[in-house]
Amino acid sequence: MSEVVKKFMYLNRKAPYGTIYAWEALEVVLIGAAFDQDVSVMFLDDGVYQLTKGQDTKAIGVKNFSATYRTLGDYEVKKIYVDRASLEARGLSPDDLVEIAWEDFETEEEIENIVEVIDSARVSELMNESDAIFSF
Amino acid sequence: MSDTIEVDGKQFAVDEEGYLANLNDWVPGVANVMAAQDNLELTDEHWDIINFLREYYEEYQIAPAVRVLTKAVGKKLGKDKGNSKYLYSLFPYGPAKQACRFAGLPKPTGCV
């Protein structure tokens, strides 16, 4: 059965807590990963906070799901992008972000960190190339 | 939901699909009682997977989908165990779903 592989982009624009968007988006990505499409995940605006290290949710009494992003590689999501301008506008740098590893179990090919910080022109380009964009 | 299972004389709440309602309630006896309900007797090989799942959840805060579980088991416990034939031989109702239930975890993300 040959099916057309579509380019799906999941766009994350909101802070991790305070609304359900970030967690819901992550669940959709993990569930959608089973369908063998060409998936990329983009973090933009306050969405960049989702990938920051050292989150502590104890005081707000919700689950800290920041560790779950590190499973994206296991779910065979290989393309994770962060908008550089959004990071800089919030006083963040790439060092503030979690690293997500990816490994091909068959070939043992390994990539230590698939999180890629890109400039705005590249963000637009990737959006244009996508067949479908799911914005959260 | 008022479903419960009894472990060592104590009642534990479970959801409508038999998953433990409260993750923190879990004691190893829960796995034994759930396995008995499924007519399974847990061996060391079962416990390897159950403990592996609990560690995975502790680290990543999710129960892995079966595909991901298979890969991760292969990496941690060896390729002879990281295949679906082996895992289904231990957990005939589906390694992710059934083993996660025994381990007191929620239903795996990505399983329907």
Residues A54-64: tens digit of each pLDDT: 999 999 988 89
In chain A, which residue's Cα lies nearest the Cα of B82? A105
Tell if the pTM clears 0.95, that is, is over it.
no
Asked whether the predicted pLDDT for residue A95 surpasses 80, the reply is yes
pLDDT at residue A1, as a whole number: 47
Span B8-66, pLDDT tens digits: 889 999 998 899 998 888 999 999 999 999 999 999 999 999 999 999 999 999 998 88
pLDDT category at A2 given cuts 50, 70, 90 is low
Residue A34 is nearest to which of B60, B65, B82, comparing CB atoms?
B65
Residue A18: Cβ within 10 Å count: 11
Contact assessment for residue B1 and residue B21, using Cβ atoms and an 8 Å cutoff = yes
pLDDT at residue B1, as a whole number: 44
Residue B71 is nearest to which of A27, A67, A74, comparing CB atoms?
A74
Span A116-136, pLDDT tens digits: 999 999 999 999 999 999 999
Asked whether the predicted pLDDT for residue A74 surpasses 80, the reply is yes
3-class DSSP assignment, residue A30: helix
Asked whether the predicted pLDDT for residue A37 surpasses 90, the reply is no
3-class DSSP assignment, residue A96: helix
User: In angstroms, rounded to a whole number, what is the distance separating the alpha carbons of residues B112 and B109?
Assistant: 8
Interface probe for B, chosen from A50, A75, A76, A98 (most Cβ of B below 10 Å), is A75
Domains and CATH numbers, chain B: 4-102 (1.10.10.370)
pLDDT at residue A43, as a whole number: 98
pLDDT category at A68 given cuts 50, 70, 90 is very high
pLDDT at residue B110, as a whole number: 61
pLDDT at residue A104, as a whole number: 81
- Which positions 94-113 of A are in contact with B (Cβ < 8 Å)? 103, 105
Residue with the two structure tokens 């990543």 = B60
Contact assessment for residue B70 and residue B21, using Cβ atoms and an 8 Å cutoff = no
Respond yes or no: is residue B100 known to be catalytic.
Answer: no
- Average pLDDT on A92-108 reads 89
User: In angstroms, rounded to a whole number, what is the distance separating the alpha carbons of residues A23 and A39?
Assistant: 17
Span B76-88, pLDDT tens digits: 888 889 888 999 9
pLDDT at residue B111, as a whole number: 60
3-class DSSP assignment, residue B99: helix
CA A134 to chain CA centroid, nearest Å: 12
